[in-house]
Amino acid sequence: MVRLADGPKAEAEVRVAASPAQVWALVSDITTPSRFGGELQEAEWLEGATGPALGATFVGRNRNEKLGSWETVSRICDYRPERAFGWEVRSAQGTFEPPVARWRFELEPEEGGGTRLRQSVTIGQGASYLTRTIESRPEQEEEIIRLRLGMLEEGIRSTLDGIRRLAES
């Protein structure tokens, strides 16, 4: 059974015929995912941040046909150039503990050139539309989570494919 308490996860990976440095330039740009038709429509740095760094925050403006529009605030929690870039999404109460979700890109150089790129999201227990929906229909928790994971995985695949195309062009 899939339960929110277990930290359900969606992920996918792709091989990119480009160097980790080329791929890093795309994944560490918070606006890149908005270019590929997923939920993220727009992102911008907050509080004077001008680029990615540990602790930097940004706002994301999102839209989903089934869920409507919403904004999130995220904080960079993993920043290792050409290796990993991750952020956590603040809850409706304005805290990062627990987060609504943790997103992450991981890059691995491949023998003979190229980069293995993985993107994942782990759903957290921070207050959100998802937690409210589950609280109102606890008997449907597994179905609700599976539906959400499907939406998230679709967005991840679209983002990875877009990054691959950009990096290889």
pLDDT tens readout for residues 18-31: 999 999 999 999 99
Query: CB-side exposure of 141: number of CA atoms within 13 Å?
Result: 14
Helices (H) and strands (E) in the chain, counts: 3, 7
pLDDT at 95: 81
Specify the CATH number for the domain of residue 142: 3.30.530.20
The reply to whether 48 falls in a domain is: no
Give the gyration radius of the chain's Cα atoms: 16
Residue 120 near residue 131, CB atoms below 8 Å: no
CB proximity list for 154: less than 8 A, separation 6 or greater: 38
The reply to whether 60 falls in a domain is: no
Q: State mean pLDDT over 44-51.
A: 90
Residue 61, burial from CB neighbour count under 10 angstroms (0-12, 13-18, 19+) = middle
The reply to whether 52 falls in a domain is: no
The reply to whether 123 falls in a domain is: yes
Range of the domain at 115: 4-30+77-168
The reply to whether 46 falls in a domain is: no
pLDDT at 138: 95
The reply to whether 157 falls in a domain is: yes
pLDDT at 92: 77
pLDDT at 114: 97
Q: State mean pLDDT over 54-79.
A: 92
The reply to whether 38 falls in a domain is: no
What's the total number of domains in the chain? 1
The reply to whether 62 falls in a domain is: no
